[in-house]
Amino acid sequence: MSQHGRKYSDEYQRSLADREGFWLDAARSVDWSVEPARAYSDADAPISRWFPDGELNTAYNALDRHVAAGRGGQPALIHDSAMLGRTTTYTYAQLTERVARFAGVLRAQGVGKGDRVVIYLPMIPEAAVAMLATARLGAVHSVVFGGFAANELAARIKDAAPKVVVTTSGGLEPNRRVEYLPTVHEALATAGVPHLPVIVKHRDGFATDPGTLAWTFVDWDGALAGAEPAAPVPVKATDPLYILYTSGTTGTPKGVVRDNGGHAVALLWSMANLYDIHAGDVWWTASDVGWVVGHSYIVYGPLLAGATTVMYEGKPVGTPDAGAFWRVIADHGVKALFTAPTALRAIRKMDPEAGLLAKYDVGHLQTLFTAGERLDTDTFHWASRVLGIPVVDHWWQTETGWGIVGNPRGLEPLPIKAGSPTLPMPGYELQIVDGMGVPVPAGEEGNIVLRLPLPPGTLTTLWGDDQRFVDSYLNAFAGCYATGDSGYVDEDGYVFVMGRTDDVINVAGHRLSTGAIEQVLGKHPAVAECAVIGVADSLKGQRAVGYVVLKSGVTIDADVLQAELVALVRKEIGPVADFKNSTVVEALPKTRSGKILRKTMRQIADGEAYTVPSTIEDPSVIDYLLPVLRPR
């Protein structure tokens, strides 16, 4: 039982038995311009509407209300750049003022309620400012991760049809400078909107010169200096706050839509109850604003809660060493850190006994949270041992926006079991079902599904495509949302998430579509067909490997082909795909209907027991591929 006398099991049961009461209570943590009288409406089912009669402004809740409550002098955002060796702090008053003025800049570009703003920025404070300024106007942002190439940016611009793009002249990677402007220019041309206004934050050391290119170029600093602050615009709780594109099984990314009201309520619930973070606490999420983790827990969650959020521009290793995380925790007095297991594995690889910890005082750190990929038990035990604090895995997805399964540290810390993210969070009615949708007994692996409706804060639809939303998530199992993950529940109800059931892979906590990489490989003139699978990688969890069949009569050196394919994926998808390996094969295993047996290939490559479906067209292909795929 928690220090406040509340029990997880009571709260969880109430969230399902008394949905209205539970979430209306939770909604009291938000400042509404119109208080909701109802929590949930199924009038548009299967699309969920949370707080259908409520109105609010999310940026007001994240900023102004804390200033009004007397916390204007408290740090809101600490930007720690390991790349530049510089830290900049914005108080709530300063961040509110800056966001209000940048909202004025956006308004001057014609952005109003419901309009879209595409944000393509690295981990600099302007990313948070641009997101919050968009929200302040009741507009809808779509942030694109900086590691995506022009084509991916173009696809998102095309789909979201923004009024303006916000970017910078440059990003900093450890061994590379990332020139943003040529990428943006190419993306606008590809998307067929070459004259779309582009607001550019100049970064020292990068050219911010529109040059002779024919585009509408707005200088961030100049525009901000002359801007009139804009007041927060109330929107309906059900209006969209943002679109975030994520990988599906096809090459076309899915535009996950998040609403305003449900999002604010769910994030506030999670900050207090899941993470035990409250106003005045210092919280650090080491991710990127381009991912959902960055949206929810670098920007919105901690600011809605009135906490101080640390935004880190750097890596766990190499900037300058494997003590970087401990340095940030010590410098800013971080109470809880949220990162991906990959980052911990990278630190461990460089500093196996975490010797660098001794250089820093990390005494403020109470909890380490991980998500983005499964926290393998080895890394769990290592991190628990070297830090001596609870290491807490939790499981969620871009679609849900906050934890599906977690350990509610602020409500009632539950015993931690290695390998499990613990128990379902309120509102998530989780079941493990077989292929026919029939629940399986405890201990048996199956598809993880969530009974509808999903709780507040989860996706409401896919941008401009309700049908794809239904087809992608709701059709497979009647009355349920299909998570795309498989796993099991043990006799204590603990959930174990084992991996994806579709062609989505997870590389260094980054979600990628093997289908998208296959589409790119297929463009190479020598390639007749190909399969991309995610094979186990000791550092990054998985890595993408391509198996290609050459067109008949084509001869090409395998190394030359690999180099060309690597360059092609980097150009078309971006460095984030981290595609480095391809192998030429004579044939791929397929079913009689032509479906490539990627799962069987992956099982063989990972040295697991493999299953060959009876529908295989030519079983001899498996015999041929065994020595090619098997780990050496």
Q: Which residues bind ligand COA (CB under 6 A)?
A: 122, 146-147, 171, 173, 176, 178, 286-288, 291, 293, 315-317, 340, 342-343, 346, 372, 508-510, 575-576, 578
Amino acid making up residue 586 = E
| DSSP code for 172 | E
CB 529 within 8 A of CB 522: yes
**Least distance (Å) from ligand COA to the CB of residue 280?**
25
Alpha-carbon distance of 285 to 232, in angstroms, equals: 26
Q: How many CB atoms lie within 10 A of CB 624?
A: 14
| 406: nearest Cα among 278, 269, 285 | 269
**Least distance (Å) from ligand AMP to the CB of residue 483?**
6
The answer to whether residue 529 forms part of the interface with ligand AMP (CB under 6 A) is no
The answer to whether residue 255 forms part of the interface with ligand AMP (CB under 6 A) is no
| 40: nearest Cα among 20, 25, 56 | 20
- Alpha-carbon torsion 452, 457, 458, 460, what sign? positive
CB 449 within 8 A of CB 477: yes
Question: Interface with ligand AMP by CB under 6 A: which range of 229-237, 304-312, 368-376, 527-535?
Answer: 368-376
Half-sphere exposure of 35 (CA within 13 A, CB side): 6
**Least distance (Å) from ligand COA to the CB of residue 554?**
28
Residues 470-499 that bind ligand AMP (CB under 6 A): 484-485, 497
- Here the tokens at position 361 are 């005082």
Residue 287's binding partner, choosing from ligand AMP, ligand COA, none, with beta-carbon cut-off 5 to 8 A by kind? ligand COA
Among 397, 422, 514, 582, binds ligand AMP (CB under 6 A): 397
Nearer to ligand COA, 105 or 286 (CB): 286
Residue 176's binding partner, choosing from ligand COA, ligand AMP, none, with beta-carbon cut-off 5 to 8 A by kind? ligand COA
Nearer to ligand AMP, 61 or 501 (CB): 501
Among 202, 278, 451, 500, binds ligand AMP (CB under 6 A): 500
CB 183 within 8 A of CB 149: yes
**Least distance (Å) from ligand COA to the CB of residue 627?**
29
Nearer to ligand COA, 147 or 455 (CB): 147
Nearer to ligand AMP, 101 or 511 (CB): 511
Place of tokens 């809605």: 304
Residue 374's binding partner, choosing from ligand AMP, ligand COA, none, with beta-carbon cut-off 5 to 8 A by kind? ligand AMP
Place of tokens 């997805």: 397
13 contacts: CB under 8 Å, gap ≥ 6: none
Beta strand 527-537 with 541-550: parallel, antiparallel or unpaired? Answer: antiparallel
**Least distance (Å) from ligand COA to the CB of residue 508?**
3
Alpha-carbon distance of 249 to 237, in angstroms, equals: 30
Question: Interface with ligand AMP by CB under 6 A: which range of 11-19, 356-364, 388-396, 622-630?
Answer: 388-396
Binding mask 288-327 for ligand AMP (x = CB under 6 A): ----x-----------------------------------
Question: Interface with ligand AMP by CB under 6 A: which range of 31-39, 371-379, 429-437, 521-529?
Answer: 371-379
The answer to whether residue 393 forms part of the interface with ligand AMP (CB under 6 A) is yes
Among 511, 524, 540, 543, binds ligand AMP (CB under 6 A): 511
The answer to whether residue 374 forms part of the interface with ligand AMP (CB under 6 A) is yes
Measured in whole angstroms, how far is the alpha carbon of residue 70 from the centre of its chain?
Answer: 32
DSSP codes of every residue in 241-269 = EEEEEE--SSSSPEEEEEESHHHHHHHHH
Nearer to ligand COA, 512 or 585 (CB): 512
The number of residues in the chain equals 632
Measured in whole angstroms, how far is the alpha carbon of residue 316 from the centre of its chain?
Answer: 18
| Rg of the chain in Å (alpha carbons) | 24
CB 332 within 8 A of CB 282: yes
**Under the rule (CB under 6 A), what is the footprint of ligand AMP?**
246, 292, 371-374, 393-398, 421, 484-485, 497, 500, 506, 511
